[in-house]
Structure formats: structure tokens, C-alpha cells
Structure 1
Amino acid sequence: MYTQNQSTVMEFIFLGFAVDPLVQIWLFHIFLVFYMTTLTGNLLLILAVRTDKRLHTSMYFFLSSLSFLDICYTSSIVPKMLVHFLSPKKSISFTGCALQFCIALTMGQTKCLLLAFMAYDRYVAICIPLRYNMMMNTTVCFWMISMSLLSGCIAASFETYLTFRLIYCGPNTMNHFFCELPPLLRLSCSDTSAINNARLVFLPFMLFIPLSLVLISYIRIVTAVMTIRLGKNKAFSTCISHLVVVVIFYGTAIFMYTKPENAVTEDTDKKVAVFYTVITPMINPLIYSLRNKDVQKAMKSLIRA
């Protein structure tokens, strides 16, 4: 990786969302509520799954892993953003930017793969229920999650290396609220073909293939459910929450990373990024807990304890 003495840029300055100090204060409180809701909801979900034996199944094992990823993902971005709302200088060091970029990308790409495995889990549970316990045992689930994390880490590390070996000779002002690939590439004054080519290689594996697996799984689920008379509502109910998360997360991520250069304004980029970095991690535990009676009971027991 290129170090700071190989680039004239020692730090990056974020423009964030607003210039008016009063608006900044309002945004601080809004995003603080979002962040605290994210932490509280996901931590409660993790604790509920760990403490309630009724939730010791593959479905909830994946769900608690998703909550852990969401905590790490949003915590790599939002705390720094909250500080910047109250700070006159919204800066991050070159090294700090690389670290934030790597962690956020690792968590985001791992989540893409994990959502695909969660869709497969629902497919097996609904379409092949008699073989569910054999096909989705603890060992299989562990390896699925480990493969997701390892793949996300390898891809993110390689992309981080290629991105931060570029030379940034100024300007260093980024019209964004965290270190992300598209705005970083706009600031580079060196050839970005290597990272662009790497992105074309990783995108199918981290976005399109997982999304295709999700769609295939749910097409099979819908086809199977339509052939039965009883239990349709229950079967659809177990999947609708996952589909909501998939649409928001994959949709906004694909929009951000596959759109042509300068296709939309940078202000639009920031607004879209809020959905997969702040909104999705916050609504995950809310959606699952509101639509799942077992999770509701476990959380109530946990709160009363």
C-alpha cells in the first residue's frame, strides 16, 4: 500500500450533509437515535438467540450473525459521522480512511453472502423440510458463515490495497460522509484502471451471484408454497422480512457500485449510501422481531430478567 509520504494528501475532508450549524445539530440527534436503535435492537436480538433454547436453530444462528455484522458495519461509519456533525473540521487521516474503508467493505460484502445463505436456509426449511436438520446442521451453518466472512475479508483487503496504493495529490475534499470507493476514485490523480478491473471481477461474486441465489431460492419457495393448501400465510410470513432487507440492501448497493461514472450527483450518492449503512442495520432487528412471535417472547423474557 502506498504510504502517506507517497501521496501529497495526508487527510481527507468530508463535506457531509449540511453546512448550516443548526441543521448539523439536528442531524446529529437524528443519527444518534438511529445508531442507538441499531445497537440496542441488534444486541437484544443476539442475546435473545443465545439465551433462549427455542431459538437455537440455523435460522436464528444466521440472524444473530447478521446482527453482529450490522453492529460492526454501522459502528465503522456512524460514530465518526456523529463527531463530524459537531466538529468544525470534518477530517479523517489517510490511514484512518483506509481502515474505515476496509472494515466497512469487509462487513458489507460478508453481509451480501450471508443474506444469500439465509435465503437458502429458508428454501431448505420450506421446500425440503424432512431433510432440513441434516442439511442445515450446526457444522454446515458455521462453515457458511465462516466462508462469508473469509471471502468478504479477502476481497475487501485486496480492494483496499488497490485503492490506497493510488496517489492522491489533491484536492482532498470528499463530498460524502465516509470513505467509500466511488468518491475516493474521483479524488485520485493516478490511473484507476486496476481497481476498476478488480471491481468488475468482485461484483459478480459479491453482489450478482448472491442476489441470483436469493431470487432462485424465493422463486422455488413461492412455487412450493402455491402447491399447498394450508400454511401459506405462515410460510410467506417467515420470508417476507428477509425479502424486505434484501430489496433495500442489494438494491442500493447495486445502484451505488454499478452505475456509470457521473451518472448521478454526489448528493444522491450520499443519500443512497445512508440506506445500506444506517437504515438497513437499524431495521433488521425491528422487522424480524415484529414479525416473529418466538423472537418477541425471547426478547420480552430477556428484558424482564
Structure 2
Amino acid sequence: MQGNPQNGELRAEIAIRVANIMRAAYDEANKLRNAHVVLRKLFVLNAAQMVKFLARLANHHLWIHQLGLCHILRKPVGKEEKQTNCLFHNYPLRSEMHAMEIFYSQWIIEERRLLNDLSSVPQNSPYLHMSTLISRALSHYAEYYDRLSQLAEQNIFLVFSAYWLNPVERSFFWLGGLKPSILFHLIPSDINDDQRREIEELKQQTVQRETELETIMYKVGATITVLMVTETMQGNPKNGDVRAELAIRVVDMMRAVFDEANKLRKYVMLRNLIVLNAAQMVKFLARVANHHLWIHQLGLYHMYSMGLA
């Protein structure tokens, strides 16, 4: 809105402000971890209990680390072959990752074209022209999340790692993609009172559902801890069959959370399509594309400035 989005000085200033905010949040999170996870436990537990607690803490991390190694080093598993050491299907990992990286680089190029076309639509443009652009934009984002859903079926951990994104993009990653409530900051200002009421109601519903999904994701982490402790108490913590069986349950839960988050993203976008008129929807979709491309460019700026690209 303030000019050329390629302005290097403005991008650098914004990147510094975002970095400072994120660094402050990280510092506060570290203080919380130190205060509640270790120091408070040190005062509450006796020495023997503290030893058990720290052993479980180390085992929890190593259990997740081993699951990750299983995921990286997995071997092809035939239909008749029992899965013991690993839980994933026989898809080549590097091929999956490379294909997603290529897809995303091409998808970004198309998003730039899309932003240019959306931004150049005249106010008095024919409805048919605007509706065609809207359909093209919705199809563009649907293609991205359809591709993610395919990847999730193959390997949900790859989806949550978001390895194809740059560091700044990953910082804004939420349960497999864009956090839906962000979209409400991109609604154009030229809406009437009835539209504003509908959008506000949708926003409240969205925030509530986001909180529910974040709670479910928290429970996934808690489930990993419970499964790890159960496995350790029942026998050899390196038992491959047990680890694979328990990990499959975790994978299923993570995939379910991702699917629900995708449904919420789609629901919010389609509800906005119903509430906004064609001209407003064009503005909204232009802001959505610009928002993502700004973050993408900030990430590239960060990588170049740090000598990472």
C-alpha cells in the first residue's frame, strides 16, 4: 500500500522489527521453560524424584529423536512384510522432498503473476473478468494444499517440518500452513456494516476453532510422552515393534490435526467468498498473495544477509 514491495530499505526495516519481536518471544519462552520445567521441579521434588524426572526428560527427547531417524532411514516395506523398525510407506524420501521443493518454486512464480493480475484489475472491471481471476486464485491456493495433503498421506512429518520454506516463512507456519485468523487482517476496508458483522462472527468462530486445534496438537505431544513412558515401563525402550506401533498412533493423530486445520483454512476462504462482493474479493485475494510474497521475500532477504543463499 505504501509503494513498491521490492523496496529494500523498507523490507530491511520490517525484517528487523519482526526479528526483534520474535527474539523477545523466544527469550520469554526460554524463561518459562527454565522456570517451570527445571527450577520449579528442583524445589518441589526430592533428589530421587528429580533423578527420575531428568531421566524421563532425556528419554523423551531421545525417543522422538529415534522416531526421526526411523523416518529418515526407513527401508521399503512390502505389502506382505511386517513393519518392525519403521512405520512409513515405501516412498523414496529424497524424491518426495525434491518434488515438493520444485513444486513450491514454480508455485511461487505463479503467485507473483497472480498478484500482478489481481492488483491491476480496474474498479469498473466486468464481473466475468473478476470472477475468472477469483476462480484462478482460489484454484492456485487449493493446488498448494492439495499437494500438501498428498505429502501428508506419504509422510506427515515432512509436512510439519515445512522444509521447502525459508526460515522466515517457517516462523509463521501453523499446523501445516497459514493460520486462518491472519486472513481477517487482510479484509479490505470498503465493507458495509452487515458484511462487517458477518466477518466478525466468522473471526470469532475461527479463533475458537484454532484454539481447539492447538489444544489437540498439545495433546499429541502429551500422548508421545505417555507412550514413551509406557513403552519404557513395559520393557526394552529400543523395541522396534512397540515403537512402530506407538508411532503410527501419533502419526494418525498428527494427520487428523492437519486435515482439520486444512478444513478450517478452506472454510474461512469460502465464507469470505460468500460475504464479499467480486471487487472486494479481488482486493482481498491480492492482499493474501502480497502478504505471503512479502514474508517469502523477507525470508530471502534474511538468507542473503546471513550468507545462507
Q: Return the TM-score normalized by structure 2.
A: 0.32
TM-score, reference length from structure 1: 0.32
